[in-house]
Amino acid sequence: MKQINSLTGMADLIEDKSKPDELAIKVFHTEETLKKIFKSFAMSEIRTPALESTNLFKRSVGDTSDIVNKELYTFSDKNDKSITLRPEGTASVIRSIVEKKLDGETHKLWYMGPMWRYERPQKGRFRQFYQAGVEILGYPEGTSEFEMISLVCELNRKLLIKKPLIKINHLGDSETKKLFCDALVKYLTPMKSDLDEKDMQRLDSNPLRILDSKNPKTQEILNKAPSISEYLPNGAKELLRSIQELFSDKCEIEIDYNLVRGLDYYTGFVFEAISAELGAQDAYLGGGRYDNLCLQLGGKSLPAIGMAIGIERLALISNQKYKNNTLVSFIIISSNSESKAYKIAHELRSINNNIDIDVQLSQGSLKSKLRRANKDGASYAFIVGDEEIKSKTVVVKPLNDKDTEQSVMKLKEIQKFIENLS
Ligand code: HAM
């Protein structure tokens, strides 16, 4: 029968302990590290459903964004309700906070999980990808901005990211945004015919996004365009400078007045972290302030700032070395009293949490099972046969140290032995 493959742009991540540099293992380790970092910032976990009403994303991420225009996985359910696989996490977090009437309080939240965008797959860009996100709710501008950049610097440090660059900008208030957009449109309109189709459309629907154009010709035209810096209030510029100064000993931070984000809900401070090692898709995280979203989704006025990390991209550039637990391969060579051997393994497992005990379930000779234990990177083989079960002993064979002979240990002795392994 013809085999069935996964959908385009949707990868399987399968852990193979013998290949620690493969993406799957790096992704899983990166997730563990990120969870520890979020906890060390006293954040609480929030988990929202993968499916939401389509309107949620239209009203938050925005009708003019590429994500909503072209990339949503939208279906009708059996009741003909339009539902969408979440393309990002922020909208769902605010939907949940409003729905649970928690929008009068402050929150520091983190989440992690798959997101879906119908994009053209390429290196670092998938249709199902994993994000870890953080949303700090209820604090006005000038407090949580620092906490956000502190978090970015900390994850760069813990994950040993080489030469990361954090770009920051400020989109001003609604007045700034309007004045700047008008000036940009006025400057670009006489050169409209030199823009490509996408940028021409943006000129009408969302002129700020033209600043993000990948077209070299547009970028050349933009060289002489008005800059948002000419319209920003002094407070916004000061905020950018003080963030840059405060963290300059920890991270390289650049003020980039052309930095705009692909989602419509941003209102003030925005940022992205990039790494040249990633190639064309170089942003491994991005975020910013979105003070109007809660109101827009039917809640109270709740100032907010957040970011999301592309876990695959972060994992690719992480140089953190992970130490696996000591692995013991538990080999049973008895067909009569197998169940008693399983019980021994069960009891040994509860002694030391830093030891992994892999009971080899396959049939086969001792030789083939030892070969398997070596391949899996086990440090010891514990061998139990009929004789051992009768005498309440286990044979312990060190696999990393060829000079040390195997020994026979009584169950009490082996408990001590396991306690002392690290
Ligand atoms: P975003 O910039 O759309 O922001 O996504 C954040 C990160 O997710 C990107 O920097 C990138 O690393 C990763 N990413 C996005 N699309 C893909 C893809 N197709 N394949 C692989 N990785 C991808 C947001 O999602 C906002 N919700 C961030 C935020 C939170 N703003 C405020 N709070």
What is the distance in angstroms between the CA of the first residue and the CA of the last residue of the chain? Answer: 48
- Atom 10 of ligand 1 has which residue's CA nearest to it? 285
Please report, for residues 17, 194, 355, 367, the alpha-carbon distance to residue 325 in angstroms, rounded to integers and kept in the order given. Answer: 11, 59, 6, 24
Q: Among the atoms of ligand 1, which is closest to the Cα of residue 125? A: 20
CATH number at residue 258: 3.30.930.10
CATH number at residue 332: 3.40.50.800
DSSP labels, 289-313: E-TTHHHHTTS----EEEEEEEHHH
Is 135's C-beta closer than 6 angstroms to any atom of ligand 1? yes
- Pull the structure tokens for residue 7: 């959908």
Among residues 317, 345, 368, the one where a domain terminates is 317
Is 284's C-beta closer than 6 angstroms to any atom of ligand 1? yes
Instruction: Output phi, psi for 191, to 5 deg.
Output: -105, 15
Distance in Å, CA 22 to ligand 1 centroid: 22
Q: Are residues 271 and 407 located together in one domain of the fold? A: no
Distance in Å, CA 86 to ligand 1 centroid: 12
Q: For 44-61, what is each residue's pLDDT tens digit?
A: 999 999 999 999 999 999
- Atom 11 of ligand 1 has which residue's CA nearest to it? 310
Is 207's C-beta closer than 6 angstroms to any atom of ligand 1? no
pLDDT surpassing 80 at residue 18: no
Asked if residue 260 belongs to a domain, the reply is yes
Average pLDDT value for residue range 190-219: 90
Is 60's C-beta closer than 6 angstroms to any atom of ligand 1? no
Q: For 279-330, what is each residue's pLDDT tens digit?
A: 989 999 999 999 999 999 999 999 999 999 999 999 999 999 988 889 999 9
**Cα gap 36→40, rounded to integer Å:** 6
Among residues 317, 334, 360, the one where a domain terminates is 317
Q: Are residues 295 and 252 located together in one domain of the fold? A: yes
Asked if residue 212 belongs to a domain, the reply is no
Asked if residue 165 belongs to a domain, the reply is yes
Contact 259, 169 (CB under 8 A): yes
Nearest to 242 by CA among 265, 269, 266: 269
- Pull the structure tokens for residue 95: 């939907």
Is 62's C-beta closer than 6 angstroms to any atom of ligand 1? no
pLDDT surpassing 90 at residue 336: no
- Atom 29 of ligand 1 has which residue's CA nearest to it? 307
- Domain of residue 132: give its range: 23-172+232-317
Q: Are residues 342 and 385 located together in one domain of the fold? A: yes
Asked if residue 216 belongs to a domain, the reply is no
Number of domains forming the structure of the chain: 2
Average pLDDT value for residue range 125-131: 98
**Cα gap 15→133, rounded to integer Å:** 23
**Cα gap 342→83, rounded to integer Å:** 47
**What was the pLDDT predicted at 410?**
95
DSSP secondary structure letter of residue 207:
G
Among residues 282, 317, 352, the one where a domain terminates is 317
pLDDT surpassing 90 at residue 6: yes
